[in-house]
Chains A and B, each alone.
Chain A
């Protein structure tokens, strides 16, 4: 027998439930903590952003109209799938400098976070919706509805837990998303896409791109069909300013929530769901 050659995985993007390569044909090198080459990752372009937003928009109506219970089931299913493939994630994390203990803790916390938001899907409406006292003969109530297509720039230094923590609350609330993975550590995001692919998440609900933040932020921010942009890292002032300005063209929600520590108690909160909800208030005449 000749010596076996390892079969290496090609890391592509995740758009519309499929794994296409970047339209640009460009790649960049991803290194492990020793400085050795791990893989090539797709260097996505503005056209990949366009395609991903299109896929997301196409999936929005159906995802948002699913029952809260069903959305919860699907989030729970992602956690189940992740549990069965934890070895893969632990290995990927250890290659980029996590100790075995840290990698295990990161995967545990990621799975638990999905369960946490799975539980919230049928509760946030009850907690944050309201019946409002008014001084006329109306029954006045406020309901929440999803914002729409959310562009997410995932945390740079928490490639798995941070990624899961920003995606889960967005989709739990009925939104769909286009995610730009950690630029330096993009590989866990694509492995996470494989989990999503086998978790009953409809294609297009979560789309994951890899590439340079400095290239793509402006396209997320300027795209008129993106309804919100979400990031938790501290961006340099120029980029943050550019995002704010471009986002103003269609009055996108720009949600900046700095999170230092993804294990901290405020890193999982239903307020992350609330950041991507629109409140609709109805005045219903009564007493006639």
Chain B
């Protein structure tokens, strides 16, 4: 078993992180570049439904939307993946047959992760056996906050092994980690343990994704890349509802990691209501009129 190389985390300058985010948010993206960025955001979306009331019909509807986000504009890109609970993977897989949209599944007793490791591993295997292309796991925040970093690392490594070929996204649940230093440390542990993506949140805890937290994680990815030459992906999730926010995130990625990360292979948005706002903005750019939710699918 590997032991983890704990990085020496220097305190993170809160003010600098927040100021930098504030400064990047002032970037003005208009007209053609805006349309391109909106389409890019759409192609990076993990269209998500993670509710106790999810039904097969709901998942099929979401898959339809994933394939064709807005029937009135058939030329739009499709989204990157559909993200569902393990019990819905089979349904999603079938509904997406013939497309190259991935099925992502949350696993490991999402959202709390409060189940024995063996159960979490079984949960992961089940999702992969059902056909999940990507697995979104949660880390043990309790163990992390107690300083049991090795345990957190070992668990991620075990889940990574259970994933087989499926890509692993590690959810840090930054809303429960409280400090930027913890976010940075958790990011480093996850990347060392084999994460393909690191992801901010489950969407079940407030605050979910914030831009400063995302910036801290992006910087962790950048430093890891410099040290190892491995590109790790980033997925902010939860609380991203408007096209404007999505564009701001894209600017953060571009400025921190560069254009190489601006593809669905390395950057994703975990969101459910974001898609409609992005679509409404694209249609607004095309028609010149502000749009109404009445003309977009309810989801």
Contact = CB atoms under 8 A, between A and B. Distances in A.
Name the residue among A53, A57, A223, A225 with the largest chain B CB count within 10 angstroms. Answer: A225
Interface stretch (B52-60, B140-148, B203-211, B289-297): B289-297
Contacts of A50: 290
A219 B293 CA distance: 17
Interface residues of A, number: 12
A18 interface: no
B289 A53 contact: no
Which secondary structure dominates chain A's binding surface? Answer: helix
Contacts of A250: 292, 294-295
A224 B72 CA distance: 15
A225 B292 contact: yes
B188 to A, nearest CB: 41
Interface in A194-234: 219, 222-225
B295 A222 contact: no
A222 B292 contact: no
Contacts of A246: 289
Which secondary structure dominates chain B's binding surface? Answer: loop
A249 B290 contact: no
B244 to A, nearest CB: 12
Interface string A221-260: 0111100000000000000000000100110000000000
Contacts of A225: 290-294
15 contacts: A49-B290, A50-B290, A57-B292, A222-B288, A222-B289, A222-B290, A223-B289, A223-B290, A224-B290, A224-B291, A225-B290, A225-B292, A225-B293, A250-B292, A250-B295
Nearest to B283: A224
- Chain B interface bracket (under 10, 10 to 19, 20 to 34, 35 or more): under 10
B169 to A, nearest CB: 33
Nearest to B291: A224
Contacts of B289: 222-224, 246, 249
Which 7 A-B pairs have CB atoms at the shortest separation, nearest pair first? A225-B292, A224-B292, A222-B289, A223-B290, A224-B291, A50-B290, A224-B289
B280 to A, nearest CB: 9
Interface string B255-299: 000000000000000000000000000000000111111110000
Contacts of A49: 290
A194 to B, nearest CB: 28
A50 B280 CA distance: 13
Interface in A53-68: 53, 57
B290 to A, nearest CB: 5
Contacts of B295: 224, 250
A224 B295 CA distance: 9
A217 to B, nearest CB: 14
Contacts of B292: 57, 223-225, 250
Given A50-B290, A223-B292, A250-B292, 15 more contacts: A53-B290, A57-B292, A57-B293, A222-B289, A222-B290, A223-B289, A223-B290, A224-B289, A225-B290, A225-B291, A225-B292, A225-B293, A225-B294, A250-B294, A250-B295
Nearest to B290: A223
Nearest to A246: B289
Interface string B116-139: 000000000000000000000000
A160 B265 CA distance: 59
B278 to A, nearest CB: 16
Contacts of B294: 224-225, 250
A117 B293 CA distance: 31
Contacts of A223: 289-290, 292
Contacts of B288: 222
A15 B294 CA distance: 22
A50 B293 CA distance: 14
A219 B240 CA distance: 27
A249 B286 CA distance: 14
B287 to A, nearest CB: 8
Nearest to A224: B292
A3 B31 CA distance: 54
